[in-house]
Amino acid sequence: MKKVLVLGATSAIAQATVRLLAARGASLYLVGRNAANLEAVAQDATTRGAAKVESRAVDLNDFAAHESLVDAAYAALGGLDGVVLAHGVLGDQTEAQKSWAATETVLRTNFLSAVSLLTVLANRFEAQKAGTLVVISSVAGDRGRQSNYVYGASKGALNVFLQGLRNRLAKSNVAVVTVKPGFVDTPMTAHIPKNKLFASPEKVARGLLSAADARKNEVYVPGIWALIMLIIRTIPETVFKRMKL
């Protein structure tokens, strides 16, 4: 990935990925909501050696702007061969249970906006017969649990969408990489007490990039989560529904 569009560039995992890409001398088009924060990430990337950095502050829940956003990225970098889709919200499960509005925000941000963006991007990459689409999903999408099934559903739906997209784009030489991080120590999880399973954003970013370089399909980062989720998926539903997870 030499010319990369990063969606949700101010998230912790995206920032760490941007640093690694910058150190490789990639050109970057950074998208985030907060202009000042985005500027801080852009300056950091420039100083660390990115060939070119442009940024734009937009709310990705404004679906109507997606087409022109992708146009702008193509124009700014003179083409695109990589996308890192990293925007998303954790939401609050209790809130979501009480109100459809809260549920809808999670689904719109994590699933619908991603689908809208990937629809535009997949068509361009299919036409140019090249490129890598990297999407940050979550282990939470592997099985619905009472503690966060709304978030989990948004990521689970995303996973299925990406499987289909991968299937469709395989013949066009476009890689679709689903990255499933476990617990990551970021501002998004600042309120949660940390244990040994929490990984740093840097570690996740390294895993993400090596998966992208190898054009993998689905990866768990860190790898231990493949095993953990295998176990969690294997528990029979009759047992699972009685568990407190």
Of 43 and 97, which has the nearer Cβ to other proteins? 43
What is the spatial distance between Cα 36 and Cα 129, in angstroms, rounded to a whole number? 36
Q: Is 47 in the site for other proteins (CB under 8 A)?
A: yes
Q: Minimum distance between the CB of residue 4 and other proteins, rounded to whole angstroms? A: 18
Q: Which stretch binds other proteins (CB under 8 A): 43-51, 61-69, 103-111, 163-171?
A: 43-51
**The tokens of 45 are what?**
């990337």
Q: Residue with structure tokens 């050109």?
A: 27
Q: Is 217 in the site for other proteins (CB under 8 A)?
A: no
Of 44 and 95, which has the nearer Cβ to other proteins? 44
Residue type, 208: L
Q: What phi and psi values does residue 189 have, to the nearest 5 degrees?
A: -115, 20
- Output DSSP code: residue 50: -
Q: Is 184 in the site for other proteins (CB under 8 A)?
A: no
Under 8 Å between Cβ of 209 and 225: no
Q: Is 37 in the site for other proteins (CB under 8 A)?
A: yes
Residues 6+ positions from 19 with CB-CB distance below 8 Å: 44, 45, 48, 205
Q: Is 41 in the site for other proteins (CB under 8 A)?
A: yes
Q: Which stretch binds other proteins (CB under 8 A): 40-48, 138-146, 221-229, 233-241?
A: 40-48
Of 35 and 245, which has the nearer Cβ to other proteins? 35
Q: Which stretch binds other proteins (CB under 8 A): 30-38, 85-93, 112-120, 219-227?
A: 30-38
Q: Is 99 in the site for other proteins (CB under 8 A)?
A: no
The distance of Cα 3 from the centroid of its chain, to the nearest Å, equals: 17
The number of C-alpha atoms within 13 Å of 200 and in the hemisphere containing its C-beta is: 4
Find the helix packing angle between 113-128 and 149-169, rounded to 10°. Answer: 10
What is the spatial distance between Cα 19 and Cα 44, in angstroms, rounded to a whole number? 8
Q: Is 25 in the site for other proteins (CB under 8 A)?
A: no
Under 8 Å between Cβ of 176 and 166: yes
Q: Is 48 in the site for other proteins (CB under 8 A)?
A: yes
Q: Is 43 in the site for other proteins (CB under 8 A)?
A: yes
Q: Is 190 in the site for other proteins (CB under 8 A)?
A: yes
Largest CA distance in the chain: 54
Q: Is 202 in the site for other proteins (CB under 8 A)?
A: no
How many residues bind other proteins, per CB under 8 A?
A: 12
Q: Is 187 in the site for other proteins (CB under 8 A)?
A: yes
Q: Which stretch binds other proteins (CB under 8 A): 33-41, 51-59, 93-101, 130-138?
A: 33-41
Of 22 and 85, which has the nearer Cβ to other proteins? 22
Q: What phi and psi values does residue 211 have, to the nearest 5 degrees?
A: -65, -40
The distance of Cα 244 from the centroid of its chain, to the nearest Å, equals: 28
Residue type, 21: L
Catalytic residues: 151
- Residue ranges that bind other proteins, judged by CB under 8 A: 34, 36-37, 40-41, 43-44, 46-48, 187, 190
